[in-house]
């Protein structure tokens, strides 16, 4: 299997200027590699930086030093040093990220939220909406809700819309932050199926799982944070 | 992606007082840049310098014209600059009265900009105006009313229609939702967001509201005392702010 993500000597600390300049170290020289088609779990105690690592790979946190190399269709790119425009391009084409919570935008219907990653790639609207509806159906969101803004949806429904959005487009690198938290057994199963499908399609999956059984089911190995 | 507007070392001083200084950035086609900072941080001064409403004291702005030429804005003649401002650019003012002609009807406000670029056929102008008013959710039966009879939110939407009717590629916005009720704000923001995407508009949005920046922009510049103190992707700046002032700004937002 070919490597698509390389983390080299990653360092990250937070300096809290408003709280006396306290420095909170998170990573001090982290190294990891992930290949296409495999799933790797990030493990470690709460507060150890599991979500932070996902955010660093996605580029929403800024590394203090080190490199995060991702392989895109245009070759290797270093997220840590990339220009903002290039990071945005990577997010459109290469790195997908399912966050823990949906960012609801007033007045935007669920099906459009789900279709957006495809629309941003220039996929035809009918085709993008078709894929969105298929995913919403698969995740048991009732059809009568598809045209509504998820503003008033339950927490579980919002999370399923969020997952549908994350899986709408195929990404070579897929970051998942507790994708099954707050879901019932049936929907957890559906999400597990989606992850397996993404792996089979060649995505490298890097995930934080709350549930140990699910983690073992999907992920062959760990990036352990101590 | 192509650079649409490029600013280098823009500065503006009012006598001894600094409006803004050493501001440099590139804006790509279709990209939305938010400029945030508290009042007096120089963000509006910067916007006015970039858009040609104010003469900057130093630096230069270059722009990729529709015909493919990249020009230094200072080298344009007054006539060329005016043409650019009413065709390829838009400016949405915080106070809609500054951006509208209050003495003519809502429909005429939109039609006027079309006439400025050479439209002459009354029926066509009216049809296009009506279409644009519908896009900003102003119904046909309000078309002939004066903007004085519009609510604040409607005036702001009218201003947007007036700006977008000539299919500009770049739009400057100065606190576009300032002074509006939150419910009206949400509607306006959603409208702006949709239009920006649909027409692949580039925009520079000045706001003190971080939620507005988050919703509309992909990149952000934070200003303090006339200088840019932090730049980055909007989510980077908001989730992992580096500068002390940005951290203060982000941590001061009340959660609901």
DSSP string, A33-93: EEETT-EEEEE-STTSSHHHHHHHHHTSS--SEEEEEEEETTEEEETTT--HHHHHHHHHH
Size of interface A-B (CB pairs under 8 A): 50
Residues of chain A found within 8 Å of residue B28, distances taken between Cβ atoms: 85
pLDDT tens, position by position, A53-63: 999 999 999 99
pLDDT tens, position by position, B106-121: 999 999 999 888 888 8
Reported ipTM: 0.90
Residue with tokens 């409403």, as numbered in its chain: B53
- Give the lowest-confidence range in A99-108, B89-98, B203-212: A99-108
* Torsions phi, psi for B4 (to 5 deg): -95, -50
Of B215, B219, B248, the CB nearest to A105: B215
Rounded Cα gap, residues A180 and A190, in angstroms: 10
Rounded Cα gap, residues A208 and A42, in angstroms: 5
Give whole-number Cα distances, A15 to A23, A25, A59, B3, B84, in Å: 4, 9, 18, 34, 45
Residues of chain A found within 8 Å of residue B235, distances taken between Cβ atoms: 60
Residue with tokens 């929403």, as numbered in its chain: A60
pLDDT tens, position by position, B233-242: 999 999 999 9
User: Please, which residues 80-139 of chain A have a Cβ atom closer than 8 Å to chain B?
Assistant: 84-85, 87-89, 105-108
Rounded Cα gap, residues A76 and A74, in angstroms: 7
Neighbours of A76 (CB within 10 A): 12
Of the candidates B92, B134, B90, B140, the residue with the CA atom closest to the CA atom of residue B113: B90
Residue with tokens 């988050």, as numbered in its chain: B214
pLDDT tens, position by position, B9-66: 999 999 889 999 999 999 999 899 999 998 889 999 999 999 988 999 999 999 999 8
Q: Residue A18 class from Cβ within 10 Å (0-12 exposed, 13-18 middle, 19+ buried)? A: middle
- Mean pLDDT value across chain A: 94
Kindly state the helix (H) or strand (E) to which residue B35 belongs, with its residue range: strand B32-36
CA B40 remoteness from chain centre = 18
- Beta carbons of A182 and A158 less than 8 angstroms apart: no
Pairing of strands B58-64, B70-72: antiparallel
SS3 B204: strand
pLDDT band with cut points at 50, 70 and 90 for residue B187: confident
Q: Chain B contact for A24, CB < 8 A?
A: no
Which residues does B228 contact at the CB level (< 8 Å), separation at least 6? B22, B23, B25, B221, B222
Of B189, B240, B244, the CB nearest to A62: B240
């Amino acid at each position: 299997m070919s490597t698509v993500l390389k983390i080299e000597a990653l360092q990250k600390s937070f300096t809290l200027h408003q709280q006396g300049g306290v420095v909170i170290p998170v990573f001090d020289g982290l190294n990891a590699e992930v290949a296409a088609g495999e799933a790797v779990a990030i493990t470690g105690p709460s507060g150890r930086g599991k979500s932070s690592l996902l955010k660093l790979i996605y580029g929403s946190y800024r590394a203090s030093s080190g490199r995060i190399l991702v392989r895109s269709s245009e070759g290797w790119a270093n997220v840590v040093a990339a220009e903002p425009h290039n990071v945005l391009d990577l997010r459109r084409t290469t790195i997908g990220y399912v966050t823990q919570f949906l960012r609801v935008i007033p007045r935007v219907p669920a099906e459009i939220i789900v279709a957006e990653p495809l629309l941003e790639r220039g996929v035809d609207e009918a085709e993008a909406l078709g894929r969105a509806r298929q995913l919403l159906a698969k995740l048991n969101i009732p059809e009568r809700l598809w045209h509504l803004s998820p503003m008033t949806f339950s927490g579980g429904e919002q999370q399923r819309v969020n997952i549908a959005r994350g899986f709408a487009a195929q990404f070579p690198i897929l970051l998942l932050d507790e994708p099954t938290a707050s879901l019932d057994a049936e929907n957890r199963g559906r999400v597990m199926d989606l992850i397996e499908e993404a792996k089979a399609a060649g995505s490298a999956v890097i995930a934080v799982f709350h549930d140990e059984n699910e983690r073992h089911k999907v992920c062959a190995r760990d990036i352990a944070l101590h | 992606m192509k650079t649409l507007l490029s600013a280098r070392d823009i500065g503006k001083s009012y006598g001894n007082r600094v409006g803004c200084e050493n501001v440099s950035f590139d804006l790509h086609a279709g990209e939305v840049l938010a400029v945030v900072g508290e009042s007096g941080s120089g963000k509006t001064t910067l916007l006015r310098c970039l858009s040609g409403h104010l003469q900057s004291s130093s630096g230069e702005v270059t722009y990729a014209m529709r015909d493919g030429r990249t020009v230094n804005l200072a080298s344009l003649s007054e006539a060329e600059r005016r043409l650019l401002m009413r065709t390829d650019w838009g400016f949405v003012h915080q106070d809609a009265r500054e951006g509208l002609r209050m003495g003519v009807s809502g429909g005429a406000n939109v039609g006027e900009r079309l006439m400025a670029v050479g439209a002459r056929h009354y029926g066509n102008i009216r049809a296009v105006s009506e279409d644009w008013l519908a896009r900003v959710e102003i119904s046909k039966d309000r078309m002939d009313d004066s903007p004085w009879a519009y609510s604040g939110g409607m005036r702001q939407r009218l201003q947007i229609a007036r700006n977008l009717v000539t299919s500009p590629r770049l739009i400057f916005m100065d606190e576009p939702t300032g002074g509006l009720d939150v419910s009206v704000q949400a509607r306006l923001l959603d409208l702006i967001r949709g239009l920006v995407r649909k027409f692949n508009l580039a925009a520079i949005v000045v706001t003190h509201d971080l939620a507005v920046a988050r919703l509309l922009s992909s990149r952000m510049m934070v200003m303090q005392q006339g200088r840019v103190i932090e730049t980055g992707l909007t989510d980077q700046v908001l989730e992992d702010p580096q500068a002390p002032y940005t951290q203060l700004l982000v941590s001061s937002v009340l959660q609901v």
